[in-house]
Amino acid sequence: MQPEKTPDPGGPAGDDSVEERRGSSRVAFRVPVQLAWGDSVEASYTVLVNESGGLVESDLRIPAGEDLELTNLQSGQRAQARVVAVRFGDRQRFRLGLAFQDAGTGFWGTQYQAAAAAAARHDHWNRFIRR
pLDDT, residue 54, reads: 94
**pTM of model > 0.95:** no
Which numeric CATH code is attached to 16-130?
2.40.10.220
Q: How many Å apart are CA 131 and CA 39, to the nearest integer?
A: 53
- The DSSP bridge partners found for residue 28 are 48
Domain residue limits, the chain: 16-130
Q: Is the pLDDT of residue 32 over 50?
A: yes
Q: Is the pLDDT of residue 130 over 50?
A: yes
Q: Which residue has the higher pLDDT, 93 or 123?
A: 93
- Contact indicator for 72, 29 with CB cutoff of 8 Å: no
* Ramachandran category for residue 106: left, alpha or beta (phi over 0 → left; psi -120 to 50 → alpha): left
Among the ranges given (62-71, 79-88, 116-125), the one the predictor scored with the smallest mean pLDDT: 116-125
The model's pLDDT over 56-78, given as tens digits with 9 standing for 90+, comes to: 999 999 999 999 999 999 999 99
Grouping H, G, I as helix, E, B as strand and the rest as coil, residue 68 is: strand
The model's pLDDT over 7-25, given as tens digits with 9 standing for 90+, comes to: 444 433 344 434 444 456 7
Closest CA to 62 of 89, 35, 43, 80: 35
pLDDT, residue 66, reads: 98
